[in-house]
Amino acid sequence: MPTATTTSIDSPSLPARSPLVSWLAVISVMLGIFSIITTEILPIGLLTSIGSSFTISDGMAGLMMTMPGFLAAVSAPVVTVATGRIDRRLMLGTFILLLALANFLAAVAPSYWLVLVSRVLVGVTIGGFWSIGAGLASRLVPAESVGRATAVIFSAVPLGSVLGVPLGTLIGDVAGWRTAFLVMGILTLCVFAMLLLVVPPLPTDEPTRLSALTGMLRSVNTRFALVMTFLVVLAHFGAYTYVTPFLEQVTHVSAGLITVYLLVYGVAGIAGNFLGGSAVARYPIGTFAAAALMIAGATVLLPVLGKEDLGAVALLVLWGVAYGAVPVCSQTWFAKASPDSPEASSVLFTASFQATISIGALVGGVVVDHSSPSMVMTLAGTAAALVVLVAWSHGARKNPLPDPAKP
């Protein structure tokens, strides 16, 4: 369980609320992040059908993954700082409504440029909601429960990855890709109602300032987290964004079976999240490096062994376990590098992660349009392998992480 990410500071005194309502508030934040993650990666499983609908290439369709990442990277620091004195409950509700609007707009968009407009709204939502919601556990439950609450909130990442792509693909196959976005819009409205009912008012005491973000960049451990996150997320999303074209063109998997393949990958991702979460607390560098090495191995071998169904499934399982550990490893490093600024570390984590998602999808799109999905996999594996060298270099310098227990 990713308890390593739960470094917290003294939170304001909690209002008198029943434990049930407090935990429902935690679950509502988790469902908000789940909705965001699912909406963000939904196009991966629908890439081919959306491209066919608007008569565009896979690379052009990949802009649906590129745009939210760039917007999230910008909006994470800008929105968090600009709204620093506004009640966080109000901001969470606003962002969730924006997400619902984005999904409904995509569902009815008559042209591809309107789909891209909807993805702009998704990007703003990601940057704002994630940066605020990721560090709220200490304000929703008593101190002794913060670790478990944070683990619940972050479980939205693997759950969104597991359910988002395969369920979106399944709905798209049965009822069309527009229906998948419509369903997400309805789910998001349900989350909005739950947030209003169970999340208490969350006025800000010490709003995040830009100086806190720039101060974090002076830490060698923060810079290490940035480099590691950039390389491994670049590798993953550069390849995973185009895994559906790969399975169709190289493995020759039918449209119906692709959902099953992605579901197998997702289940492996859940296992990887909890395995990585428990391991990173004891072996922070080794866990990050091992995850990257597994991604490198899986993506490099896919063009060779992925021509057969068994080889493709086995490597997708390896890939899923590996990537499942990546978000918790990255967030752990950012949180431990700045234990006294949880919201600031969440902002930096969100901005760097999302920017790299968009870069990876963009680079992968260029490669797949000018070469092939197999070349995308090979180049992604090379980028992931570089993470191991960076981890070894950082470990050799023996840069200790701050101990929040010490003054």
**407 domain residue, yes or no:** no
pLDDT tens-digit series, residues 323-341? 988 887 887 777 777 766 6
Q: Does pLDDT of 300 surpass 90? A: yes
Q: Does pLDDT of 398 surpass 60? A: no
State residue 8's pLDDT score.
Answer: 37
Q: Does pLDDT of 362 surpass 70? A: yes
Which structural domain range is residue 265 located in? 3-397
Max alpha carbon distance in the chain (Å)? 60
**216 domain residue, yes or no:** yes
Mean local confidence (pLDDT), 9-37: 77
Q: What is the pTM of this model?
A: 0.74
**373 domain residue, yes or no:** yes
On whether the CB atoms of residues 32 and 96 are closer than 8 A, the answer is: yes
**406 domain residue, yes or no:** no
State residue 16's pLDDT score.
Answer: 60
Q: Does pLDDT of 103 surpass 90? A: yes
Q: Does pLDDT of 56 surpass 90? A: no
Other C-beta atoms closer than 10 Å to the C-beta of 389 total: 12
Token couple for 192: 């909005």
On whether the CB atoms of residues 32 and 126 are closer than 8 A, the answer is: no
State residue 191's pLDDT score.
Answer: 95
* CA 215 to centroid of chain Cα atoms: 24
Q: Does pLDDT of 209 surpass 70? A: no
Question: Domain holding 38: CATH number?
Answer: 1.20.1250.20
Higher pLDDT, 4 or 124: 124
**How many folded domains does the chain comprise?**
1
CA distances (Å), origin 278, targets 4, 9, 53, 146: 8, 21, 44, 16
Mean local confidence (pLDDT), 357-374: 84
Higher pLDDT, 240 or 150: 240
**402 domain residue, yes or no:** no
State residue 295's pLDDT score.
Answer: 94
Measuring CA to CA, which residue among 154, 183, 186 is closest to residue 167?
183
